[in-house]
Structure 1
């Protein structure tokens, strides 16, 4: 499908701004970009924010800039994923904001189906099921199950929403900004939105693929647990008893998820 310039996106087909932070992502970034270019929904812009990479990430991205829907912002110094994502959000022109990390992938109908779902449900926040894939791209049999909808208390107990699957409606939510945290900034944003009374609606279909990369922050379960506890206590300001109650549920759900991957 030939590119459709951003300026030609029709009102009936709202523009989706895809936010992709990159840092030393040369191994995977071309495949990630290709998964966006293969979308059956052509009304998107891809904003890549490079967080001071020291490898060939930026030269690889520059080769993709012939597509007018793809934009690159290069940060002068490494500032973390929250700053990179917020920089992209500030530069976004679309009604909808979607997130895709630099090593993850989308299935071709992801945007088409998710935009239609958002419009049909009049939803401000949606997410999808996603499959775990190995570092080399090999599929695992595990597709992460998700609820049909989740509220603030539910997400505290089960951090099930994959960042690569999320779509947000700026018209309904207003200002969207991730807390300036090194980790869990995405979950902190989801909690902030749900705390305002919104619900997140789950699309019961695998539309995204999460790459398990050795040495990544998310691959360290102990650090993930510690960061979740800090999120409860330092960001959400839960009492010790409430945080402990949520943490027990979080641990149980994380264990079930890990068992499903083995």
Structure 2
């Protein structure tokens, strides 16, 4: 297999229904890519579904011995990866062709820490909702404190940063914590405002329970070191943006 430029990390638990589409969208990318599927002790036919694609030669299937959760599963994938860049893709989402190529070019041109894209919201059956969530062209640490506009399945970042800032606190928005830690050094995010990510809405996702998601967002600010008052102020900003985003 050609040495990968991008390692795609895909955690999955009981994802046989959707993972095929996610895998196919990775295989359709036109940069040297490896896909690491981290199976978090699935009890359905996820493994059999993944095996159907193994002939492509650039998929590695890793099964956890115990349930580790999304954050630790992603971290395991990052440690096993070989690419210069890391991309994350949840097993029920998928990408448009050309996503990774556009992001690699953007990162090398701008020197940004993270590259994100816009996303189209999809129904559980894969049909569009007709809603699109854009992303700003440039996002700083202070921008991100006010509003997490970076979806995990849209991200490309350097492997060295993914190793240095692993995802923690699965009881919160673990990806948001990581983005904040990376940007705290003074870097920035570049957004590609195209719907390269197709984001499938699911009833079981963390963000679908708005009250629970809100509580976890407040906890993010506490985890990155802010006191109760500042955390509350950041949370208010998050709430205002959330109403606008899903209006």
Counterparts of 1:220 and 1:168, CA distance in 2: 28
Asked if 1:195 corresponds to 2:184, the answer is yes
Query: Partner of 1:153 in structure 2?
Result: 142
Counterparts of 1:252 and 1:183, CA distance in 2: 19
Asked if 1:131 corresponds to 2:120, the answer is yes
Choose which of 213, 234, 240 in structure 1 pairs with 2:228: 240
Give the number of equivalent residue pairs: 247
Choose which of 196, 199, 202 in structure 2 pairs with 1:213: 202
Query: Partner of 2:216 in structure 1?
Result: 227
* Stretches of structure 1 lacking an aligned partner (at least 5 in a row): 10-14
Query: Partner of 1:6 in structure 2?
Result: 2
- Whether the 8 Å CA contact 1:49–1:74 is kept in 2: the answer is yes
Counterparts of 1:78 and 1:155, CA distance in 2: 30
* Stretches of structure 2 lacking an aligned partner (at least 5 in a row): none
Choose which of 232, 241, 246 in structure 2 pairs with 1:253: 241
Q: 1:237 offset after TM fit, Å?
A: 2.2
Partner SS, residue 205 of structure 1: strand
* TM-score (normalised: structure 1): 0.90
Query: Partner of 1:27 in structure 2?
Result: 17
Q: 1:71 offset after TM fit, Å?
A: 0.5
Q: 1:26 offset after TM fit, Å?
A: 0.7
* TM-score (normalised: structure 2): 0.96
What whole-Å deviation, never above 9, does each CA across 1:150-189 have from its counterpart, x for those lacking one? 1222111101101011000235776241124233111110
Counterparts of 1:201 and 1:65, CA distance in 2: 33
Q: 1:114 offset after TM fit, Å?
A: 0.9
Query: Partner of 1:166 in structure 2?
Result: 155
- Whether the 8 Å CA contact 2:7–2:81 is kept in 1: the answer is yes
Runs of 4+ in structure 1 over 2 Å off: 170-176, 180-183
